[in-house]
Amino acid sequence: AQTVTQSQPEMSVQEAETVTLSCTYDTSESNYYLFWYKQPPSRQMILVIRQEAYKQQNATENRFSVNFQKAAKSFSLKISDSQLGDTAMYFCALNFGNEKLTFGTGTRLTIIP
């Protein structure tokens, strides 16, 4: 069975700074997919970024980028130029294609004005 671990329950950073959220995972499969979801106070789950395990190039979406280290089974999310609207719970998740998502326990990120 696969597991996803987020070891930072809470983080805070000043507005406009850069912050990195950590995620590690464990799976015996070679083909899998990793995601970061954002859950703001509204509780909506919003997809931030995805990474295919077979791709070596790190995914980037505007201010959001990942550092995917396959050998280390690490998948961190970097948020550049953080904004107040980035305040949310961030969940790292993994699946094997058209299957359920397995989530980590989340990191609560607060952006300080």
Residues at the contact surface with other proteins, assessed by CB under 8 A? 33, 35, 37, 42-47, 50, 52, 91, 95-106
Among residues 15 and 54, whose Cβ is nearest to other proteins?
Answer: 54
Among residues 50 and 70, whose Cβ is nearest to other proteins?
Answer: 50
Q: How far apart are CA 73 and CA 40, in angstroms?
A: 27
Among residues 13 and 45, whose Cβ is nearest to other proteins?
Answer: 45
Nearest approach, Cβ of residue 81 and other proteins (Å): 24
Alpha carbon of 61 to those of 42, 66, 100: distances in Å?
A: 22, 9, 23
Q: Do 43 and 58 form a contact (C-beta atoms < 8 A)?
A: no
